[in-house]
Amino acid sequence: MNMASAAPGQAWEWFAIAGLGVFHGFNPAMGWLFAVALGLHRHSRRVVLLAIPPMALGHALSIGVVAALVLATGLVVDSHLIRIASGALLIAWAAYQLRYGHRHRVRVGMTTGSAGLVAWSFLMASAHGAGLMLIPALLPLCGSMAGRSSGALLVSLAAVGVHTLATLLVTGGIALVVYDWLGVGVLRRGWINFDRLWIIGLVGTGLLLIATS
């Protein structure tokens, strides 16, 4: 199933999944800042490029875990209860991030390899609740395949693929622009507090889930 063949009522879910991928890609905590740091540390543009795919894979695995949980619970639990529980979890996670998030950072050294980058990206995406933000779009997509577990599985895989591709393209693009032209010094001159934006996004998504339950 793709965006072109989706029913009109489902188009927003696919755009939301892709849009969240773009948003996650812009967030330096999701990988581009680390990729640039690795490239500068090793004095290699190639290192920047090679760091992006493992990070995208780790992000996809984290999103995939959430998609699998949504698919599994959706088969046995009422969707209204899932929405309320997911919304409450997102708001609680936002409160945790606001209070303790700055203390619990995932740290990986500058000598890490591909496996380390996959693990780092998976943990970062999971710790930030990246997959949880996709629940409002995943629930109706999987729900539209009620009684067709194989169809719901394919939709979930497609959603993970669309989201990961958007994240990959944005993360890679920003990493190259910063490494080739801007340099990390630009972050000192103008910095967006993505942590605050992320927390606002978590709370907004949680409220949306509860309001539409």
- Read off the amino acid at residue 172: G
pLDDT at 10: 66
**Residue-averaged pLDDT of the chain:** 80
Cβ-contact 173, 31 below 8 angstroms: no
Shortest CA distance to 169 belongs to which of 39, 43, 46, 19? 19
- The confidence band for 172, taking pLDDT boundaries of 50, 70 and 90, is very high
Cα separation, 144 vs 147, whole angstroms: 9
Task: Provide the residue type at 212 as one letter.
Answer: T
| Structural element, H or E, at residue 60 | helix 45-74
Domain boundary assignment for the chain: 15-211
Distance from CA of residue 15 to its chain's centroid?
Answer: 14
pLDDT in tens, 12-67: 889 999 999 999 998 888 888 889 988 888 888 999 999 999 999 999 999 999 88
pLDDT value of position 4 = 41
Q: Is residue 206 within 8 Å of 90, Cβ to Cβ?
A: yes
**The two structure tokens encoding residue 22:** 């773009």
pLDDT for 86-110, tens place per residue?
888 888 888 887 777 655 555 555 6
Q: Give residue 5's pLDDT.
A: 45
Q: What is the pLDDT of residues 66-76, one digit of tens each?
A: 888 888 776 55
Three-class HEC string of 175-206 = HHHHHHHHCCCHHHHCCCCHHHHHHHHHHHHH
Amino acid 136: pLDDT: 84
pLDDT at 6: 46
| Per-residue confidence (pLDDT) for residue 59, from 0 to 100 | 95
Global pTM value: 0.79
Neighbours of 206 (CB within 10 A): 26
